[in-house]
Amino acid sequence: MDRTFHPRRSRRLVPLVALAAASALLVAGCSSSSGGKKSEESSSGAAAGKADTPRMTVAMVTHQGSGDTFWDIVRKGAEAAAAKDNIKLVYSNDPSAGNQANLVQNAIDQKVDGIAVTLAKPDAMKEVLGKATAAGIPVVGLNSGVDDWKKLGLMEFFGQEEGVAGEAFGKKLDEVGAKNVVCVIHEQGNIGLTQRCDGVKKTFGGKTQTLYVNGTDMPSVKSTVTAKLKQDSSIDYVVTLGAPFAMTAVQSVADAGSKAKIATFDLNKELTGAIKKGDIQFAVDQQPYLQGYLAVDSLWLYKNNGNYSGGGEQPVLTGPAFVDKSNVDSVAAFAAKGTR
Amino acid sequence: MSDQAAPAVSAPPASGPGARDGRTARRPLALRLLARPEVGVLLGAVAVFVFFFAMAPAFRSGSAMATVLYQSSTIGIMALPVALLMIGGEFDLSAGVGVITSALTASMVSFQLTMNVWVGVLVALVLSLAIGAFNGWMMVRTGLPSFLVTLGTFLGLQGINLAVTKLVTGNVATDDISDMDGFTQAKALFSSSFTVGGVQFKVTVLWWLLFAALATWVLLRTRYGNWIFAVGGNKDSARAVGVPVKFTKISLFMLVGFGAWFVGMHQLFAFNTVQSGEGVGQELIYIAAAVIGGCLLTGGHGSAIGPVFGAFMFGMVSQGIVYAGWNPDWFKAFLGVMLIGATLINLWVQKSATRR
């Protein structure tokens, strides 16, 4: 064995060298003349000077699952506010309620100067938020929990009511003359997503159906939506609850040979292009960047000037804002930076 | 069934070409067929097909079949190497996120370096094969069960997918590469459609069947195929008769890497961007398709055509529920019940076929 080993090793080097040479050639000769990083415009963040107040620490604890474009935008807003306010931002997230509560406890243990938290499962957060209040740490809510933030002793709340957004969506569907709508839920059992579809159902005059798809597998999302459109050919609007799913629904509609139009909740940069092209009719935007930014900035304002938005009584609503062909141009530039 | 064997005994020995000795009586063709690993699942698939054909009017059209086949093909292309690996006695939990790792790599390499997308595609292939080689090498080197090694790879890749994407693109999804050089050719290869009789089929269906034919040939007609059965059946006796156990296992893991690359490229060129959080949970669906297709979780037994029907059944059930227009709250429950039912039919057929 050992004797044959050495000559074999040198022979093995040959394909490696060949591969390296081939890759070098590829790198030299295969540049793309269109698209890519080079064509992406250099973007600067929305930095507006910097506060000279003493450095403080703010913890943001959300129920984000990993790899979701929506939460990325929330976090960018929070980071922009932190950079401006001389704040050290500690971001953490866990979709399971128990783990999220532990992360809040972790923030309390770190003796942070403020906590911004989402209340996707308010009951699970009750006890730990009581501890935060007892420790004298100001807590603000964002994104989800518009019905519960006051009960749980939070100071302020920034977000949109999912039900209200759904209701606004339903009214808009009536305006554009939809008759039979399918609401595509990409995560079975997610309360916020269910509330959106329920809101649509509440105000929309026509028929609303629900469809569950497997959000972690795009080909499966595509074929399931196609199947639904074929099963019920009278569907004239597909409503998705996240931007990437709306983009996939465009292909499903084409595959099914359906005439259905598409509208969605939430934005990203690919979606603004699709609205411009007319592939997607409109998107309702809850302005996640604003939620992250305001939550962090409000803690700075409270510490340095004793302010609180909404007077501790009313939530600060960041949505629903509609983006359609009429205003997409003004939004597209910000979406390209990943902040809208 | 015994009534066919009985007259053979009373017949005089060697009296003509059709005569059989009772001791070596060949079991009836139907039974011999039923004993093959893929026949049970074929019957299960037929049952599911008939069921939805009767229940869901929308299921009956050619274009519905194209949708079902598309869904089945993206599962099926991965279920094939996963099945071969399982016949070889191992399995790979990192197969689901591995698909996304490959797609993310191709997309980011092309976009960030502003390269022709084929450069990204090739880099992703090398990476996917390397991940497979790592899994295999780690396993044979340390002797750890493949469950542990690939669980580690699964978690590691999940984190790397997210962290590296965020680090490189500044977002959790990759940038749109559809306007870059080479995209159109790559899309033609990995994600185009073709029309047969007025119905549009996705090219992945062709690739799926081609890979299945190739895998069947390798498994049944080549020395390498024998090695796969041997290492899955009994590693030590396989080694004793000169089967290169380490090579076989590592190469099987690399084959899964190749499958992940192929499906990853399909996803990238079908949807232009990739979200870094996708893929989690898919590994179980691939394994399920292989198991339904008659591959044993313990190795040494199975076929390449079985997983084709396994994936097809999965596609039919998940789309059939939608075509039938059933209450979607029950979606996953229906899926679970139908899959267990189909697997039981599969099991029952095999048992009754091999009883005598």
pLDDT, tens digit, for every residue of A32-68? 777 777 666 544 445 567 888 889 999 999 988 766 7
**Shortest CB distance from B322 goes to which of A227, A247, A248?**
A227
Q: What is residue A95's predicted lDDT score, i.e. its pLDDT? A: 79
pLDDT at B328 over 80: no
Verify that A107 and A240 share a domain, yes or no. no
How far apart are the C-alpha atoms of A36 and B181, rounded to whole Å? 9
What residue ranges do the domains of chain B occupy? Answer: 55-354
Q: How far from each other are the two terminal CA atoms of chain B, in whole angstroms?
A: 9
Verify that A35 and A154 share a domain, yes or no. yes
Q: What is the DSSP letter of A103?
A: H
- Let me know: does A241 contact A210? Beta carbons within 8 Å: no
* Bond before B37 cis per omega within 30 degrees: no
Annotate A23-33 with b (16+ C-beta within 10 A) or e (fewer). eeebeeebbbe
Verify that A20 and A153 share a domain, yes or no. yes
Domain boundary among A285, A305, A334: A285
Verify that A215 and A245 share a domain, yes or no. yes
Query: What tokens were used for B295?
Result: 């591959």
User: Is A232 touching B (CB cutoff 8 A)?
Assistant: yes
Verify that A39 and A151 share a domain, yes or no. yes
Verify that A279 and A307 share a domain, yes or no. no
Q: What is residue A42's predicted lDDT score, i.e. its pLDDT? A: 45
- Let me know: does B51 contact B186? Beta carbons within 8 Å: no
What is the domain class of B55-354 according to CATH?
mainly alpha
Verify that A150 and A122 share a domain, yes or no. yes
Q: What is residue B13's predicted lDDT score, i.e. its pLDDT? A: 44
Query: What tokens were used for A201?
Result: 């159902």
Mean pLDDT is lowest, of A100-114, B1-15, B253-267, for: B1-15
How far apart are the C-alpha atoms of B166 and B160, rounded to whole Å? 10
A230: which chain B residues are within 8 Å (Cβ-Cβ)? Answer: 58, 61, 63-64, 67, 323
Q: What is residue B32's predicted lDDT score, i.e. its pLDDT? A: 73
Question: Is the overall model pTM greater than 0.90, yes or no?
Answer: no
Instruction: Looking at the complex, report in whole angstroms how far the Cα of residue B189 sits from the nearest Cα belonging to chain A.
Output: 17
Q: Does residue A329 fall inside a structural domain?
A: no
CA distances from A325 to A196, A247, A282, A320, A330 (A): 23, 16, 7, 16, 10
B112: which chain A residues are within 8 Å (Cβ-Cβ)? Answer: 36-37
Contacts of A218 (CB under 8 A, 6+ apart): A244, A248, B267, B270, B271, B275, B278
Burial level of A10, CB count in 10 A (0-12/13-18/19+)? exposed
Q: Count of CB atoms within 10 A of residue A67's CB?
A: 23
Interface contact A230-B115, CB threshold 8 A? no
**Shortest CB distance from B116 goes to which of A32, A219, A224?**
A32
Complex-level ipTM: 0.73
Q: Count of CB atoms within 10 A of residue A47's CB?
A: 9
Verify that A109 and A207 share a domain, yes or no. no
Q: Does residue A3 fall inside a structural domain?
A: no
How far apart are the C-alpha atoms of B21 and B32, rounded to whole Å? 18
Query: What tokens were used for B286?
Result: 């691939």
Q: For B276, name the nearest residue in chain A, comparing CA atoms only.
A: A67
A244: which chain B residues are within 8 Å (Cβ-Cβ)? Answer: 173, 273, 275
Encode pLDDT of B9-37 as tens digits.
Answer: 444 444 444 445 555 566 777 777 766 77
Q: What is residue B2's predicted lDDT score, i.e. its pLDDT? A: 39
Interface contact B175-A40, CB threshold 8 A? yes
| Count of domains forming chain A | 2
Encode pLDDT of B206-237 as tens digits.
Answer: 999 999 999 999 999 999 999 999 999 888 89
**Shortest CB distance from A231 goes to which of B170, B270, B325?**
B325
pLDDT at B331 over 80: no
Q: Does residue A339 fall inside a structural domain?
A: no
CA distances from B351 to A71, A96, B31 (A): 51, 43, 10
Q: What is residue A340's predicted lDDT score, i.e. its pLDDT? A: 84
CA distances from B345 to B39, B189, B293 (A): 11, 37, 12
**Shortest CB distance from B322 goes to which of A33, A188, A231?**
A231
Q: What is residue B10's predicted lDDT score, i.e. its pLDDT? A: 42
Interface contact A223-B315, CB threshold 8 A? yes
Q: What is residue B4's predicted lDDT score, i.e. its pLDDT? A: 41
Query: What tokens were used for B251?
Result: 């190469």
**Shortest CB distance from B319 goes to which of A32, A65, A223?**
A223
Verify that A208 and A62 share a domain, yes or no. no
Which residues of chain A have a pLDDT value below 70? 1-12, 23-29, 38-48, 66-67
Q: Which residue has the higher pLDDT, B3 or B267?
A: B267
Q: Does residue A73 fall inside a structural domain?
A: yes
Q: What is residue A46's predicted lDDT score, i.e. its pLDDT? A: 55
Q: What is residue B226's predicted lDDT score, i.e. its pLDDT? A: 94
Burial level of B210, CB count in 10 A (0-12/13-18/19+)? exposed
Question: Predicted confidence band at B142 (pLDDT cuts at 50, 70, 90)?
Answer: very high
Interface contact B70-A223, CB threshold 8 A? yes
Verify that A57 and A115 share a domain, yes or no. yes
How far apart are the C-alpha atoms of A14 and B221, rounded to whole Å? 31
CA distances from A315 to A140, A307, B80 (A): 10, 14, 53
Percentages helix, strand, coil for chain B (3-state, rounded to 5) are 75, 5, 20
Q: What is residue B6's predicted lDDT score, i.e. its pLDDT? A: 41
Q: Count of CB atoms within 10 A of residue B36's CB?
A: 15
Verify that A195 and A245 share a domain, yes or no. yes
Q: What is residue A25's predicted lDDT score, i.e. its pLDDT? A: 64
**Shortest CB distance from B177 goes to which of A35, A224, A268?**
A35
Calculate ∠ Cα A175-A180-A184, nearest 5°.
100
CATH no. for residue A213? 3.40.50.2300
Encode pLDDT of B160-171 as tens digits.
Answer: 998 899 888 888
Instruction: Looking at the complex, report in whole angstroms how far the Cα of residue A18 sits from the nearest Cα belonging to chain B.
Output: 14
List the 172-201 stretch of B: residues with Cβ below 8 A of A. Answer: 172-173, 175-182, 200
List the 16-55 stretch of B: residues with Cβ below 8 A of A. Answer: none
* Domain that includes residue A121, residue range: 16-160+287-320
How far apart are the C-alpha atoms of A110 and B306, rounded to whole Å? 56
- Let me know: does B315 contact B74? Beta carbons within 8 Å: no
- Let me know: does A85 contact A51? Beta carbons within 8 Å: yes
Backbone angles phi, psi at B355, to 5 degrees: -65, -40
Q: Does residue A9 fall inside a structural domain?
A: no
Verify that A66 and A170 share a domain, yes or no. no
Q: What is residue B152's predicted lDDT score, i.e. its pLDDT? A: 95
Calculate ∠ Cα A36-A39-A42, nearest 5°.
115
